[in-house]
């Protein structure tokens, strides 16, 4: 059995959603960083200098706590997350 947890990522500036497999012990900030490292410069333009990433459940305006672990977030497999950036 795999210890990876599947999430669907909607990264600001991307043309569509992507599947991202993450460690359930990763924090929300680590998920955002993994998505950035996977997508930026490939399917997403480089982010502005000093950009910070925020993660929300898809369609929810509330930003998730970046220190919360995926395992503690109550996500279902394939839950969609929006990752947005601000400078």
Q: How many domains does the chain have?
A: 1
Under DSSP, the state recorded for 68 is S
What does the block give as tokens for 44?
């997403």
Contact 85, 14 (CB under 8 A): no
* pLDDT tens digits, one per residue of 34-87: 999 999 999 999 998 999 999 999 999 999 999 999 999 999 999 999 999 987
pTM over 0.85: yes
Contact 20, 30 (CB under 8 A): no
CATH for 44: 3.10.20.270
Phi and psi at residue 43, to the nearest 5°: -120, -5
57: domain range?
A: 5-86
């Amino acid at each position: 059995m795999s210890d990876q947890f599947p999430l669907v990522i909607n990264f600001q500036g991307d043309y569509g959603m992507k599947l991202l497999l993450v460690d359930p012990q990763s924090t929300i900030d680590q998920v955002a960083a993994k998505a950035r490292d996977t997508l930026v410069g490939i399917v997403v333009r480089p982010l502005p200098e000093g950009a910070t990433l925020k993660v929300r459940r898809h369609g929810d305006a509330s930003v998730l706590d970046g220190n919360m672990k995926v395992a503690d977030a109550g996500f279902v497999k394939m839950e969609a997350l929006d990752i947005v950036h601000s400078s």
